[in-house]
Chain A
Amino acid sequence: MSVGHNDVVRWVGAFAEAIAENKEYLTALDAAIGDADHGINMNRGMQAVMAKLQAGDPEDIGALLKTVGMALVSSVGGAGGPLYGTFFLQLGSKAIGKDELTDDDWVAMLAAAVEGVQMRGKAEPNDKTMVDALIPARDALAAAVAAGEPFADALHGSAAAAEEGMKATIPLVARKGRASYLGERSAGHQDPGATSSWLLLKTAADTWGR
């Protein structure tokens, strides 16, 4: 199964919609253990992305994803901008010159994107961050594709792994980001970054995994 240029555009649009729909929810999660702006910032960023793509989106999937990344860096602000910006920039770096993505491409892209996020933000597993949703998703995807599972199943499996990782952040004490200033008080709350990352993978699965 392959993912074409228009499928990628549809995914980005679906993510933008999911962020808009969950703006208040993400902000509320961020109010509990942060400064109440994750939903607002991500929504502003994705609106900027959609405006950019509507003005003209590159044919090359790599260039398209890099455009998304740059737009996020220059409009989200906060920690989310550099982190999600880097995520998309790294996705794009593994898709240069491609107008279609295979299962293996997506595995390599997701791996590069997660590595970029970890290098930029220096988060490790269980720090209570987006990485706690992304790493399980990356690993589930890689395992499924290596085992020869149909791409749709692999995608839904990686989204499910992201969801589990997101929920697993609830009891964690934050060691990174604004939540870490709360110490023990950050436990008992779901991480907003892990939640938006789950949405990212869920929309990919829903868009490409029919």
Chain B
Amino acid sequence: MKKLINDPENVVREELAGIARAHPDLVTVSVDPHYVVRADAPVEGKVALVSGGGSGHEPMHGGFVGAGMLDAACPGEVFTSPTPDQVAAATKAVDGGAGVVHIVKNYTGDVMNFEMAADLCRSEGIDVESVLVDDDVAVQDSLYTAGRRGVGTTVLMEKIGGGAAEERRALKEVADICRKVNDNGRSMGMALTSCTVPAAGKPTFDLGDDEMEIGIGIHGEPGRERMKVRPVREIVELMATPIVEDLPFSSGDQVLAFVNGMGGTPLIELYIVFNELAEFLEERGITISRKLIGSYITSLEMQGCTITLVKLDDELTALWDAPVRTPGLRWGA
């Protein structure tokens, strides 16, 4: 597989060097341990938001560091959770004395590493509140699984939670707002292709030319069901139906609709997906009052998309609209 890289072993290191050179006005980059913090960190008296995860999902999370969103992001190796010492170091670097929220996607590795990091931070007197993202409806949340994965809602939580923190709200309030986003967010993903982790050198799974995978996560792992590709109208129905039924979203609801590309899908297709989604929701009396369309939580060069809906109220809407100034998301500032 052709990639624009040098030695596969140095992909994360070189990416961080690129970010440091590209956005010195927005972020500061630390290497060994690897983390990215907002350029003006620590912001005294403000709750800090820290997240992280494997590399390979850019712009998530490093691209969302800056005013109005994350204070720090911890990049692990590609598709691999960051380590506790990374997260602890990043947390200390952005602690402004008002406590820290850890936004943790519900993957076994992320959960364990962030847990160990939070223990380390608390033992050093930093108040840490952990918020789990588990919005993926493709997985049954039961005793028999690792629980629902954290996917699209993660980005939306980072923005809305970041807005709350910027208003200088207290730690518990910021954490509760993040949890409100999770409670009101549901997602589903699909893939037309797999992706190739640089160090592995070949695709994670094989998908036939006429096949698609429904219910994927974001790490190039196979999903729940494989089937023949269909017109996108049917695919959107397959994805949006469980999303709407799960919360459930009802007629009269206002939603933030997030159509996300997995990295390899062009914008032309994402807009077609959005068009189908808009019709699907309109038929059900659900109003899209805010939207985000583009590749924000990716899986390297995977072709595919995820759909996320978050039920909005006035508070969440205002926090979504608040200014943000990060490499990956910027408005009002």
Contacts and interface: CB of A to CB of B under 8 A. Distances in A.
B283 to A, nearest CB: 30
Interface string A51-90: 0000000000000000000000111111111110000000
B123 interface: no
A-B pairs, top 4 by smallest CB distance, nearest first, are A78-B109, A82-B112, A77-B80, A35-B219
B222 interface: yes
B143 to A, nearest CB: 7
Interface stretch (A134-142, A154-162, A174-182): A174-182
Interface string A2-43: 000000000000000000000000010001111111001100
B171 interface: no
A98 interface: no
B271 to A, nearest CB: 29
Given A36-B197, A40-B200, A77-B83, A178 B77 contact: no
A34 B80 CA distance: 11
Contacts of A27: 200
A74 B85 contact: yes
Given A74-B85, A75-B83, A181 B108 contact: no
Given A27-B200, A31-B204, A175-B143, A37 B80 contact: yes
Contact of A178 (B83, B84, B140, B217): B217
A79 to B, nearest CB: 4
Contact of B146 (A33, A73, A77, A178): A178
Given A40-B200, A180-B145, A181-B217, A74 B224 contact: no
B200 A36 contact: yes
A36 B204 contact: yes
Contact of A181 (B81, B146, B204, B220): B146
Contacts of A83: 112
B217 A81 contact: no
A34 B221 contact: yes
Interface in B104-163: 107-109, 112-113, 115-116, 138-140, 143-146, 149
Contacts of A76: 83
B292 interface: no
A31 B195 CA distance: 11
B77 A74 contact: no
B224 A77 contact: no
B36 interface: no
Interface of A: 27, 31-37, 40-41, 44, 73-83, 120-121, 173, 175-178, 180-183, 185
Contacts of A73: 83-85, 116
B78 interface: yes
Contacts of B80: 37, 41, 77-78
Contacts of B77: 37, 40-41, 44, 77
Interface residues of B, number: 39
Contacts of B85: 73-74
Contacts of A177: 108, 146
B78 A37 contact: yes
B204 A77 contact: no
A64 to B, nearest CB: 20
A81 B76 CA distance: 12
A205 B299 CA distance: 40
Contact of B223 (A41, A44, A180, A181): A181
A165 to B, nearest CB: 20
A162 to B, nearest CB: 21
Contacts of B222: 33, 182, 185
B199 interface: yes
A74 B113 CA distance: 10
A32 B200 CA distance: 13
B12 to A, nearest CB: 11
Given A82-B113, A180-B146, A121 B81 contact: no
A78 B81 contact: yes
Interface in B60-90: 76-85
Nearest to A40: B199
B197 to A, nearest CB: 6
Q: Which of B138, B204, B221 counts the most chain A CB atoms within 10 A? A: B221
Given A79-B109, A175-B144, A181 B84 contact: no
